[in-house]
């Protein structure tokens, strides 16, 4: 897919990435390394996911640096001499303060293209003839960072908005709204508060974020400067998504709308607030996922950036069994026992952060 030799134009390009073990960041690191960028990636600890950090550091021209994004001197060193950056902040620490300091440091270092992974602040969206929507707390903070970055004179920035991750699904990990339950008949039940007609934008994070960001960097700020880009390659309601999953997995997945069920999950209060707000948003199909004007551009703009995207059906067929085996899911282990060792077909692979840590819904 990529040329074997680095492009001369990119050979001296240094790309800064933060939270490198996240799904979005690691996706970009892999493809950026392949086309010749020098990648400088921040992470809190290499031991947090040693398998993934070992994989990333084995790639050509990739350096992972341990350090806190709350340390101004570390941030200054991170951006020193960098040309471009992809920033996906998380709720570890004060996300708004960290996001602001990263943007200021990038401007000071002379970064030429700053790509920030933002999300919708629904409190800026008014219902038709009614009050404003309620904000999702962990999305609102990202939007605040975006607003600040836009106000920095001379910081050429682009803002990407991720759809719901294909990779959120699991039958064993505690992922509210996305956990699949064994139905006792060889299939699964997906119970969630999405209205059956809610148009969910879908994104295969690990497969598609990197190539899409790479194309934005290639096109440059002349084309994408100041733009908001919805990263979603499919738009399907929950029933359509369950049908796609069924076709890919070869096992019936049935969607059931129900109230949010999180009492059995060990979830911090801050994230509980996020989940309750998300459940309320998704209960009405008229409530938009993206800011006004963005949803109408799905999935065309994302598919324009990256034509090799992976569908939810393909994810269910090609990747879900791999992740399920790696996480010790009983159904896949039983399948392996019944059909013989299929280890070569379903090799255990690292799971970039536990599902739910970087969930965009």
Consecutive 10-residue averages of pLDDT for the chain (361 residues): 44 90 96 97 82 92 95 96 96 93 97 98 87 95 98 96 97 92 95 98 98 98 98 98 98 96 80 94 97 96 98 98 94 84 41 38 40
* Structure confidence at residue 10 (pLDDT): 53
* Structure confidence at residue 204 (pLDDT): 98
Nearest one of 21, 90, 26 to 49, comparing CA atoms: 21
* Structure confidence at residue 349 (pLDDT): 37
CA of residue 242 relative to chain centroid, distance: 20
pTM score, whole prediction: 0.90
- How is 186-222 classified by DSSP, letter by letter? SSEEEEES--TT--EEEE-HHHHHHHHHHHHHHH-HH
* Structure confidence at residue 340 (pLDDT): 67
Give the Cα separation of 103 and 111 in Å (integer): 10
CA dihedral 189, 192, 194, 196 (to 10 degrees): 30
- Burial of 229 (C-beta count, 10 Å sphere; 0-12/13-18/19+): buried
Residue 181: strand, helix, or coil? strand
* Structure confidence at residue 354 (pLDDT): 33
* Structure confidence at residue 111 (pLDDT): 98
Q: Within the chain, where are the H helices?
A: 23-34, 50-57, 72-79, 95-109, 137-150, 205-219, 221-224, 238-249, 269-282, 300-305, 312-318, 320-326, 330-339
* Structure confidence at residue 350 (pLDDT): 36
Domains of the chain: 14-164+202-233+259-310 (3.40.50.720)
Q: 299, 233 in Cβ contact below 8 A?
A: yes
């Amino acid at each position: 897919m990529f040329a074997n030799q680095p492009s001369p134009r990119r050979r001296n390009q240094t790309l800064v990435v933060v939270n490198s073990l996240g799904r979005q960041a690691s996706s970009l690191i892999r493809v950026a390394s392949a086309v010749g960028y020098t990648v400088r990636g921040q992470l809190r600890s290499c031991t947090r996911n040693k398998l993934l950090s070992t994989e990333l550091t084995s790639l050509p021209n990739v350096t992972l640096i341990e350090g806190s994004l709350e340390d101004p001197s570390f941030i200054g060193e991170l951006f020193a001499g960098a040309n471009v950056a992809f920033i996906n902040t998380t709720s570890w620490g004060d996300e708004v303060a960290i996001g602001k300091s990263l943007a200021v440091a990038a401007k000071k270092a002379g970064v030429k293209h700053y790509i920030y992974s933002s999300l919708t602040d629904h409190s800026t969206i008014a219902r038709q003839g009614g009050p404003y929507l309620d904000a999702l707390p962990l999305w609102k903070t990202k939007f605040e960072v975006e607003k600040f970055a836009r106000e920095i004179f001379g910081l050429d920035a682009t803002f990407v908005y991720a759809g719901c991750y294909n990779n959120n699904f699991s039958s064993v990990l505690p992922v509210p709204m996305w956990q699949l339950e064994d139905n006792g008949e060889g299939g699964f039940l997906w119970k969630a508060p999405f209205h059956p007609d809610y148009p969910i934008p879908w994104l295969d994070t690990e497969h598609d974020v990197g190539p899409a960001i790479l194309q934005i960097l290639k096109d440059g700020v002349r084309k994408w400067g100041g733009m908001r880009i919805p990263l979603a390659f499919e738009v399907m309601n929950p029933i359509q998504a369950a049908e796609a999953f069924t076709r890919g997995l070869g096992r019936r997945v049935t969607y059931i709308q129900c109230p949010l069920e999180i009492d059995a999950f060990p979830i911090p209060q801050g994230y509980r607030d996020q989940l309750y707000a998300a459940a309320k948003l998704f209960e009405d199909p008229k409530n938009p996922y993206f800011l006004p004007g963005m949803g109408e551009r799905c999935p065309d703009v994302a598919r324009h950036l990256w034509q090799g995207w992976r569908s939810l059906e393909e994810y269910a067929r090609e990747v879900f069994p791999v992740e399920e085996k790696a996480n010790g899911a009983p159904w896949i282990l039983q399948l392996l026992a019944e059909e013989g060792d299929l280890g070569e077909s379903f090799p255990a692979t690292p799971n970039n952060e536990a599902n739910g840590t970087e969930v965009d819904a």
